[in-house]
Structure 1
Amino acid sequence: MRKLYLPPEWSKHKGTWLSYPHNPDTFFEKIDNVRDKYTDMVKLLSECEEVHINVNDEEMENDVLSRLKDKRANLNNVFIHRFPTNDAWCRDHGAIFVVDRDENKLVALDFKFNAWGGKYPYELDNEIPKKMAEYLNVERIEIDMVLEGGSIDVNGNGLLLTTESCLLNPNRNPNMSKEEIEENLKYYFGVEKILWLKEGIVGDDTDGHIDDITRFINENTVITVVEENPNDENYPILKENYEMLKTFTDIKGNKLNIITLPMPDPVYYKGDRLPASYANFYISNKYVIVPIFNCDKDKIALEILQSVFTDRAVVGIDASDIVVGLGTFHCLTQQIPYV
């Protein structure tokens, strides 16, 4: 049996893979500002690792390069690919890169993608893992299971976090039992124990991705969002998850260290609650890129994150318009581990 292993996000990256925002049904009239904040993120990433960006056509390629030139990004580290997508959420539609520990090589996992249970078109998105693997000239394993990268998080030492509301949703793998899903997670990601939380935050159209609620920041520590307002819809959801986290142990039976992050003030678009969360940060080689939402909680969240990521600079980028698309920076990114 192969020894596949998903390195934790804080391990060294060769690069980050992205898909450029373009879908008017996702970002509406916000698209120009979304691209502006998106390229702020790309500029930071280009300082410390390769950045690969999927675009649909020449217009998109010219647009991203023009914005990056204006921001003085390191274009030597930016690679544009004419790989058309339905949308921008590369965390979910892109390949998940693992390491084959026996051969010390990169492997692209190509899970099925069905746009979070068939909610949106996904024909182009589902072809992206194959194109990523071909470009990098790495082996691709096609897996007969629906899975999005935002639905899992690992600690690099045997643990994987996920949610029942997403992975056990009948709109993903109705013919697979919980035990069969666990077996696949353990084999393909090289983990020993699956930690199941319950539900995700209100407004999350992914049915509750873990990257909006709880993240590993080292082998024995999680950071999790909590809602302090008992009248808020997220209060009971996040309280239940927090209480569950307190019962979890690592593979040696030790309890996890738990650090709490506040939730931002509620963010709405046309009357709908959006899944705004500080937990949707992305850990790059040099920076931790954090979504912020123009409220008093921003400063508190950034200070907490900087206190735990002592080896990286924590940078907040306004995600008030990006979250109209129902995701932010972690949802947009997919790391390529360094082997």
Structure 2
Amino acid sequence: MNTEHDGVRPGISRRTLLARTGAAAAALAVGPVIGGIQPAMAASWRVPGEDAPHKRTWMAWPSSSTIWGSLLSKIQADIAKLAKEVAKYEPVIMCADGSSAASQARAACGSTVTVISSIPVSDCWMRDTGPLFRVDGAGGLDSFGLNFNAWGENATTFYGLPYSAYSKDRVLAGRVAAYSGVGFSKSSVVGEGGGIEYDGDGTLMATESCWLNSNRNPGKSRSQVEAELLARFGATKMIWLPGVTGYDVTDGHIDGTARYIKPGVVMVQLAGDVRPDVWTANAQAMYNVLSNATDARGRRLQVLTIEGPDTLPRIPSGKRADFLSSYMNWTVTNSAIITTQFGDTAKDAAAKAAISAAYGRPVVQLNLDNLYGNGGGGAHCVTMQEPNR
């Protein structure tokens, strides 16, 4: 192998405040021990890139007043808006926590979104809680989970939420896999889908701040974490990026700053004027590493850039620094890219044009201020694609 260097309490973003020490969760071992880890997968399995054809998108309906309090209806409105947009391009299954929540979700999302109540959920962050689906190139499909532990128990550390607030999401991945009728196994490392990017062609990108963190993988070396992730994703090379520890509940998920467009091509959002210096420096550091990186095929990465907004006219000035002003947190559908707009007319238009040109697909920009502001997550955070076999 080769190496180169959120549920939320009301009023507090998933991506704000300084963290204290989070509770550690033990990794779950599966399969035979190989080099001190347990990858346990056939070499043919791989997680395809997000631009590969999808069978459907999975989402989860937020209904917990313990987590959201008085903000719940606003978050639900943004989830419904996004689900209806995704459903224009591919099927959407929305998991709701029981019949009452399902009825509420159906009323909000309409008939184009399939709502089910048979898979209990705690919150809406399907990217972090759902399974990662893999294909084998011969019509096979299986999946694995990353042992979601509420972002290293930061949900408790940051917001004082009880451990039980995310009890259903801790086992959600396996239940989604069972509904889809595919095999499921647990990784031997702890993390979240929003914490890793994959090109489907052998290369991964991830932040050290998420994966090499004692609140997720205590006692594991970088080489052990890397080997397990490479094995699970069917990849051969990891590009490690620094990230930011302790400034948000995710410890610096990569999907707000750097994304794969396709094999050999990545995009980085350089921070606009509204982002605090720590995130500006992080974006520049990611750009610097990626500009000098090669992938598993030996290709020098093409690094595209966009800039974040310079102003957030709809957001009170006191809340702008904590707002997740990321165009990068888009979700890919079969025929369009869905991202956000923030009201900075020039920057919104430039981001839309750049993303559309990169993918060769139309880009839809939605106003998701409540999800991005009060939730601190975006369209990518609340969706998980299931690929075609």
- The TM-score normalised by the length of structure 2 is 0.80
Among 80, 85, 88, the residue aligned to 1:47 = 88
Shift of 1:334: 0.6
Aligned partners of 1:259 and 1:28: how far apart in 2? Answer: 39
Partner of 1:193 in structure 2? 237
Question: 1:329 is paired with a residue of what secondary structure?
Answer: coil
Whether the aligned pair in 1 keeps the contact of 2:62 and 2:122 (CA below 8 Å) is no
Shift of 1:279: 0.7
Partner of 1:135 in structure 2? 179
Whether the aligned pair in 2 keeps the contact of 1:286 and 1:313 (CA below 8 Å) is yes
Classify 1:50/1:143 alpha carbon distance in 2 versus 1 (closer, same or farther; 3 Å): same
Whether the aligned pair in 2 keeps the contact of 1:288 and 1:314 (CA below 8 Å) is yes
Q: Does residue 281 of structure 2 align to residue 236 of structure 1?
A: yes
Partner of 1:167 in structure 2? 211
Bigger proportion of residues as strand:
1
Question: 2:200 is paired with a residue of what secondary structure?
Answer: coil
Classify 1:232/1:190 alpha carbon distance in 2 versus 1 (closer, same or farther; 3 Å): same
Q: Deviations over 1:87-146 (max 9, x none)?
A: 110100111111134x53111202211111112332110111121121111111122321
Alignment of structure 1 residues 1-339 onto 2, 5 Å: 2=42, 3-24=44-65, 26-69=67-110, 73-75=111-113, 78-101=114-137, 104-120=139-155, 121=163, 122-200=166-244, 204-229=248-273, 232-233=276-277, 234-265=279-310, 271=319, 273-296=322-345, 297-310=347-360, 312-323=361-372, 324-339=374-389
Whether the aligned pair in 1 keeps the contact of 2:209 and 2:245 (CA below 8 Å) is no
Shift of 1:280: 0.3
Amino acid at match of 2:135: V
Aligned partners of 1:286 and 1:39: how far apart in 2? Answer: 20
Q: After TM superposition, which residue ranges in structure 1, 4 or more long, deviate above 6 angstroms?
A: 266-270
The size of the alignment, in residue pairs, is 332
Deviates more, 1:23-32 or 1:235-244: 23-32
RMSD of aligned Cα (Å): 2.2
Aligned partners of 2:139 and 2:322: how far apart in 1? Answer: 44
Whether the aligned pair in 2 keeps the contact of 1:204 and 1:275 (CA below 8 Å) is no
Aligned partners of 2:273 and 2:108: how far apart in 1? Answer: 40
Aligned partners of 1:230 and 1:34: how far apart in 2? Answer: 23
Amino acid at match of 1:241: M
Classify 1:206/1:253 alpha carbon distance in 2 versus 1 (closer, same or farther; 3 Å): same
Classify 1:265/1:205 alpha carbon distance in 2 versus 1 (closer, same or farther; 3 Å): farther
Whether the aligned pair in 2 keeps the contact of 1:150 and 1:209 (CA below 8 Å) is yes
Classify 1:231/1:38 alpha carbon distance in 2 versus 1 (closer, same or farther; 3 Å): closer
Identity, in percent, stands at 29
Whether the aligned pair in 1 keeps the contact of 2:45 and 2:135 (CA below 8 Å) is yes
Aligned partners of 1:289 and 1:274: how far apart in 2? Answer: 19
Aligned partners of 2:365 and 2:196: how far apart in 1? Answer: 23
Whether the aligned pair in 2 keeps the contact of 1:294 and 1:320 (CA below 8 Å) is no
Aligned partners of 1:200 and 1:314: how far apart in 2? Answer: 29
Classify 1:203/1:29 alpha carbon distance in 2 versus 1 (closer, same or farther; 3 Å): farther
| Unmatched runs of 5 consecutive residues or more in structure 1 | none
Amino acid at match of 2:200: G
